[in-house]
Structure 1
Amino acid sequence: MSGGITDAPVAEALLRHLAQERGDDDPIGALAKGLLDGGSPSRELLRSSWLEEGLTEAVEKGRAELSRMSSERLAAIEEGAARLRSASGEGVGAAS
């Protein structure tokens, strides 16, 4: 294992899903594909305002969705994430 994000099975599955569903014409899809293809996206992509805008939009949508969830649903999501972190043995996504 190289210690990269794609070494974690859940992260790799998520990246594959994003790359397929969002595609190359979407900044999140392009970023996911770059991570899957070579472990890191191209420097041009990372410098692009297109990626910044896409990530900003995705974060805003995620925050809005989280704000609509009940505390019970949020707790269930956190519990599932903790199980995934402990199962991976790598602490991927662990809170600091």
Structure 2
Amino acid sequence: MTIHSQNLAEAGTLEVRHDPEQSRYTVLLDGEPVGVADYITTTAAVHFTHTEVNPAKRTHGLASILVEQALDDVRVRTDLAVVPDCSYVAHWIDTHAEYQDLLTRGR
């Protein structure tokens, strides 16, 4: 399922896909997978466990776009809390106050 698609003039066409069977969000640049955000879902929370973007593509802010779109999807699809086990996701939420409510949902 595609949850976000846009054209980045400097980078190309960007798409974020959610694959619930693999518990993964993938960011694609011009149709090529360049990053992932893996998660585990429990009865109370979505635990983001790992985020990785191809080092050659990191200058485009793809990790930030990937995490933002994944968190937006969790917000819309579930009422579960988010647990940022991945240090990148934890830092991203710390610097984006509008997403900090996800940490305490359902409690």
Give the TM-score normalised by structure 2. 0.26
Larger-Rg structure:
1
Q: Indicate the structure with greater strand content.
A: 2
Give the TM-score normalised by structure 1. 0.28
